[in-house]
A and B are shown apart, each in its own frame.
Chain A
């Protein structure tokens, strides 16, 4: 039986409450009591793309960060390519690429090439393989002119593409993207989405789990949409099926009906 790209079984995450004043000193030892994810279960199949859709605080980033081994779940199980995110984090990291959607996370005084080579080699690529991949991606990701410039001189859009290139350098089986077009203008965002569609998804070798507030992005990239609300998975289906289920004419309308928001006054972050 083929192993799912991602499998989640009753994944639950609680955070401790934030403390201030002298009690902040005991913050690291606070008992986790605030729910962020509750009993999330679903599977991401090979070469499939699932979008995580939900208002701020719905648990999208928390889920992605657990899968990226940056957070530990409170209970439940998450596996990537058959490896448990808690007990085999290094095996998990071999199979995933993670792009946090911000234009941070690079060494600003190093060039784009030096950054890519550094992270590529930390992901077990040989020097020559890393160089080859960087050259290949520079052409594919329209980074050739930026490759030998310090990252601090690059635009947000270029850094986003650089970050995606970093996530894909070691040919991971699963790609995790957290609001990948968050800091991009409309033109750069559209270009980034089409790039993702044609260069990452179309070859059919990479499974994608991504969080987004942009419905245009979700409609273009996602095979299925997981709707999260207050840390719970309230729906998971194709965009067309979600619209059918909620008798909605658009995905936006379907989202508002599923989450109980009045459609006339959408949450500001969901206006796309």
Chain B
């Protein structure tokens, strides 16, 4: 376990040093987050009404609701994107084969390659929330920070399984991933990003309940905006953990099988 964590740290440092060698993107992302937050604020002001406020599950109005939904979908996007982007970069730079001939295990290579992008996405989410709080009245006084942290970790585990499935597809078929775009498309409709799931027809609500983003968003909004105790989000957390318990081993199995197949067909380094 210690050796596994040590390897994760090595990958994190690798990506941190690479990111440090490009300086401007960080500044640009911080500024971009400000523009994004401002856009949500003014859209919220435009559509805000007492009826809309009443239909939202937490305090903070539509601005807080939509901002959390938007930035958290970014988290799902990062999870779906991170594994195959790392894989693609490693394949294109020729480092993939050199990683695979080290004594590091496959789970460590996968998890390690995802660690920095997840931390960076978490920071990006934090920047959005900080801009919202500083300039646009995003309510942080009712946040339960421990619950926020737990929701982030558990969501990350649940989403990672989907991301590793996505990387398995890339390993086999080399380009694109229709499953990823389908899942993101579905999540933006039924995940509860910009409107509550409760306004959807029953059959779409049923689909929403099969998607981990729905539970992650419920739990995150409750933790940030709902003045809750940890026990109030045990249900979505348990479901997210269930998603993780099913998806992670299955996706690791799929990735190992895809890797075995590419080693058999000789297409590991093919683009």
Contact = CB atoms under 8 A, between A and B. Distances in A.
Interface string B231-271: 00000000000000000000000000010111111111000
Interface in A93-112: 93-94, 96, 98, 100, 102, 104-110
A105 B93 contact: yes
Contacts of A27: 265, 267
B94 A28 contact: no
Interface in B94-115: 94-95, 97-105
B267 A28 contact: yes
A216 to B, nearest CB: 27
B47 interface: no
A11 interface: no
Nearest to B109: A122
A28 B102 contact: no
Nearest to B95: A105
A34 to B, nearest CB: 10
Best-surrounded residue of A15, A121, A166 (most CB of chain B within 10 A): A121
A32 B263 CA distance: 12
Given A32-B265, A72-B260, A105 B103 contact: no
From DSSP, what is the main secondary structure of chain B's interface residues? helix
Best-surrounded residue of A36, A65, A70 (most CB of chain B within 10 A): A70
B17 A110 contact: yes
Contacts of B53: none
A89 to B, nearest CB: 9
Nearest to A102: B94
B21 interface: yes
B206 to A, nearest CB: 32
A114 B15 CA distance: 11
A124 interface: yes
Nearest to B6: A121
Interface in A27-86: 27-28, 30, 32, 36, 62, 65, 68-72
B22 A69 contact: no
Contact of A105 (B98, B105, B258): B98
Interface residues of B, number: 34
B263 A71 contact: yes
Contacts of A123: 102-103
Interface residues of A, number: 39
A93 B93 CA distance: 21
Contacts, number: 95
Contact of A106 (B7, B95, B265, B267): B95
A100 B103 CA distance: 17
A100 B97 contact: yes
Given A25-B173, A30-B265, A108 B93 contact: yes
Contacts of B22: 109
A96 B266 contact: no
Contacts of B264: 32, 71-72
B56 to A, nearest CB: 45
A90 B94 contact: no
B45 interface: no
A83 B7 CA distance: 24
A150 interface: yes
Contact of A28 (B18, B99, B172): B172
Nearest to B261: A28
B110 to A, nearest CB: 14
B10 interface: yes
A15 B94 contact: no
Contacts of B6: 121
B11 to A, nearest CB: 9
Nearest to B97: A70
Given A15-B266, A28-B173, A72-B263, A118 B10 contact: yes
Given A32-B264, A72-B263, A98-B101, 18 more contacts: A25-B173, A28-B267, A70-B97, A70-B100, A93-B103, A98-B98, A105-B93, A105-B97, A105-B98, A106-B95, A109-B21, A110-B17, A110-B21, A114-B14, A118-B13, A119-B98, A122-B10, A122-B103
* 6 nearest CB pairs, A to B: A104-B94, A122-B102, A105-B94, A109-B21, A28-B172, A122-B104
